[in-house]
Chains A and B, each alone.
Chain A
Amino acid sequence: MMGIPGFILDFFAALMLLVAAVSAGRLVLDLPWRRGVMDVDIDGAHVLMGIAMAGMLVASLSTLPNGVWTVIFAVMTAWFAWCVYRESRGRGTRVLVDSHHAPHLVHSAAMVYMFAALTAPAAGHGSGMAGMGGASGGMPTLAVPVVAFIFALVLAGYAVMDLDRLSGPTPHGSYLAVPASTVPAAAALVGAAAAGGSVSAAVASAGPAGTEGGVSTAAAAGEASPGKPAGDGGGAAGSARRLLLDPRTAAGCRIAMGVTMAFMLIIMI
């Protein structure tokens, strides 16, 4: 019986490698004087998940043994569970919807499940999977498929919520409709905070535009990181840097990862 065409698996594998590369770029740009600016844990998780998923999709891209990946993602799951727990204090179950780390907790838990529940003939061979293209002659399957179904539903939910946020409004306007004039305000926000001011003070001084939400702020972060003047890194390099540091890029990575993960879970049921 014919399986999923190789070009589809190749496409998703390439997408995951792109996510890994972009996330690695974001980590590299998290230079010492900006340490803590980025979500190191999240970008790091994206790098590892991207590599692991590409290896699951295409046999020739597999890297580590399944057992090692399982341990890595189990540790990652524990870390994100701790982060969500910290964020949940006083917020109850709402944290599952608007927590910064909840989607990453689901992503890493899904990875643990995928590696642990794999029942393909190639599973456990010690050097990664044979890939879904059927290098061993068949599609890998997952034990307890209802878990895969639930994970796929939740991942789909987070993916569409992320897209909604990416294009959605804040009390002061839309993330997409960010006028250029907001950038200096956001840069002031960054600079004020870097100088030791409180966030609320910085927000107040930046005005409504500065509270636009992430996009303008992060764009500014790329342009005017503490210790570096605004406009540093102009030209193509500066544009690339701004693009990498843009929170929409991170959100895009998360969406791509969620969709790909849901795809993998469903096709292995």
Chain B
Amino acid sequence: MSDVTVAGGRAAWPERLGAEGAWHPPDTRRVLQLALAAIWLLDAVLQYQSFMFTKAFGQMLAGTAAGNPGAIASPISWDARLVEHHVVLLNTIFATIQLLLALGIAFRPTVRVALAASIAWSLGVWWFGEGLGMILTPSASPVNGAPGAVIIYALLAVLLWPSDRHAAAAPFTAARAVGASAARVLWLVLWGSLAYFALLPGNRTAQGLSGMVGGMADGQPGWLAALDNHAASLLAHQGLAASIVLAIALAVIAVGVYLPVPAARATVVLAIVVAALIWVFGEAFGAILAGGATDPNSGLLLILLALAYWPVRKPPAVVAPAAAGSAAREAAEGEVTP
């Protein structure tokens, strides 16, 4: 490549200028924000599927009212009827909102607005679209997505908020915005609730988990159906033992963030492994491959969340802008410390 090429045109993209003018790689939090944006983007395109433009989408929403208290269920039923009657218009709006959230998080000047909007949107969807993740029903289980995938989007938006109020003492990325104590409490509550759900009576029955995992095989590609069926047969008649083991693992994960760094790392790894197992076997990748899924379900989000809690050796120091142009850089990042 000639120098002319480099300077005149291909230099147009950052990496073309070589080391001096190279693209400034994002930090860990920004990488996690981008992963969150990518998942929102995936959600958006899932929402554009043909199934979502049918009355079946409204009926799916209505199904989340079942088992919930009346005060929760009635608005869900009302919303579901509304969606059924105006499914094309409303679903187009839903999908477009999610697309804008994805693009907004990825575009640095709008990251704050988009993250804030994603929290509001997630809370709305958690109620009207997921029936509060079914946490108030006896059928809640960490294996089928409780406490609701979408509430984890909101949690991630809070933890990945571009603020460095607590950066100086942050032992992991999730603590930078809200502080280590608050971040640890949020982790404890989330994983602790998962441990609790694992021990609900419905999950302790002999065939509870087996039926749940086996039920995910319907409509999946052959290899995934075989995986689910195999896992279901392993769990057959082992519901109580499997629930207890799962609950213990989740409880260990829940307290892991309070342990010394090596142990905390081990529990984060355990969290990633458990979340991956839930995502593959319990959720069949959110049933995306079967069609008709609205999101990748909770497993993928739990993995992303765990990565935000990976302990760092040294808490990142808040560096005062020194180099020329750093103020503009921070403004563009949307990460100026308040």
Binding site for B on A (CB under 8 A): 1-5, 8, 34, 36-39, 98-100, 139, 144-146, 149, 152-153, 156-157, 159-161, 163-177, 189-190, 192-194, 196-200, 202-203, 208, 211-215, 217-218, 221, 225-226, 245-247, 250-251, 259, 262-263, 265-267, 269
Q: Is the CB of A169 within 8 A of B11?
A: no
Say how far A192's CB is from chain B's closest CB, in angstroms. Answer: 7
Interface SS of A by simple majority = helix
> In whole angstroms, what is the CA distance A163 to B328 when docked?
17
Closest to A99 in B: B15
> Which of B38-46, B140-148, B197-205, B251-259 participates in binding chain A?
B38-46
Among B2, B18, B291, the residue within 8 A (CB) of A36 is B2
Q: Work out how many contacts link A and B, with CB atoms closer than 8 A.
A: 235
| Mask: chain B, 80-104; 1 = CB below 8 Å from A; 0 = not | 0000000010001000000100110
Closest to A203 in B: B20
Residues of A within 8 A of B7 (CB): 189-190, 192-194, 199, 202, 217
| Mask: chain B, 1-34; 1 = CB below 8 Å from A; 0 = not | 0111111111111111110111111100010001
> In whole angstroms, what is the CA distance A38 to B332 when docked?
27
Closest to A192 in B: B7
Among B18, B34, B42, B324, the residue within 8 A (CB) of A208 is B324
Q: Is the CB of A2 within 8 A of B54?
A: yes
Q: Is the CB of A177 within 8 A of B332?
A: yes
Residues of B within 8 A of A99 (CB): 15
Q: Is the CB of A153 within 8 A of B14?
A: no
Closest to B329 in A: A169
> In whole angstroms, what is the CA distance A255 to B318 when docked?
33
Q: Is the CB of A197 within 8 A of B328?
A: no
Q: Is the CB of A152 within 8 A of B30?
A: no
Q: List 21 A-B contacts (CB under 8 A).
A: A1-B50, A4-B48, A8-B48, A146-B289, A157-B35, A161-B106, A170-B325, A171-B323, A173-B325, A174-B332, A174-B333, A175-B14, A175-B332, A177-B332, A189-B11, A193-B3, A194-B8, A213-B17, A266-B48, A266-B288, A267-B45
Say how far A120's CB is from chain B's closest CB, in angstroms. Answer: 13
> In whole angstroms, what is the CA distance A199 to B92 when docked?
48
> In whole angstroms, what is the CA distance A251 to B103 when docked?
14
Residues of A within 8 A of B11 (CB): 189, 199, 214, 217-218
Q: A37-B5, A100-B16, A163-B106 are in contact. Are A149 and B289 (CB under 8 A)?
A: yes
Say how far B74's CB is from chain A's closest CB, in angstroms. Answer: 28
Q: Is the CB of A213 within 8 A of B109?
A: no
Q: Is the CB of B323 within 8 A of A226?
A: no
Residues of B within 8 A of A159 (CB): 38, 41, 106
Among A8, A164, A221, A250, the residue within 8 A (CB) of B106 is A164
B side interface size, CB within 8 A: 66
Closest to B17 in A: A211
> In whole angstroms, what is the CA distance A139 to B288 when docked?
16
Q: Is the CB of B288 within 8 A of A149?
A: yes
Q: Is the CB of A168 within 8 A of B108?
A: yes
Q: Is the CB of B17 within 8 A of A203?
A: yes
Q: Is the CB of A164 within 8 A of B30?
A: yes
Q: Is the CB of A34 within 8 A of B9?
A: yes
Tell whether B53 is near chain A: CB-to-CB under 8 Å. yes
Tell whether B309 is near chain A: CB-to-CB under 8 Å. no
Q: Is the CB of B285 within 8 A of A262?
A: no
Say how far B53's CB is from chain A's closest CB, in angstroms. Answer: 6
Residues of A within 8 A of B23 (CB): 98, 165, 168, 170, 213
Tell whether B107 is near chain A: CB-to-CB under 8 Å. yes
Say how far B41's CB is from chain A's closest CB, in angstroms. Answer: 4
Tell whether B221 is near chain A: CB-to-CB under 8 Å. yes
Q: Is the CB of A168 within 8 A of B45?
A: no
Tell whether B49 is near chain A: CB-to-CB under 8 Å. yes
Q: Is the CB of A263 within 8 A of B108?
A: no
Q: For A3, A217, A263, which residue has the most chain B Cβ atoms within 10 angstroms?
A: A217
Say how far A56's CB is from chain B's closest CB, in angstroms. Answer: 15
Residues of A within 8 A of B30 (CB): 164
> In whole angstroms, what is the CA distance A123 to B13 when docked?
38
Q: Is the CB of A164 within 8 A of B26?
A: yes
Q: A203-B17, A267-B49 are in contact. Are A221 and B12 (CB under 8 A)?
A: yes
Q: Is the CB of B289 within 8 A of A211?
A: no
Q: Is the CB of A156 within 8 A of B21?
A: no
Residues of A within 8 A of B107 (CB): 163-164, 166-167
Say how far A185's CB is from chain B's closest CB, in angstroms. Answer: 12
Q: For B9, B20, B323, which residue has the most chain A Cβ atoms within 10 angstroms?
A: B9
Say how far B296's CB is from chain A's closest CB, in angstroms. Answer: 9
Q: A163-B103, A208-B324 are in contact. Are A168 and B333 (CB under 8 A)?
A: yes
Q: Is the CB of A39 within 8 A of B10?
A: yes
Q: Is the CB of B41 within 8 A of A160?
A: yes
Residues of B within 8 A of A4 (CB): 48-50, 53
Among A36, A161, A169, A192, the residue within 8 A (CB) of B9 is A36
Q: Is the CB of B38 within 8 A of A170?
A: no
Q: Is the CB of A160 within 8 A of B102?
A: yes
Give 6 nearest A-B pairs by CB, closest first.
A193-B7, A174-B332, A169-B329, A37-B9, A173-B325, A247-B12
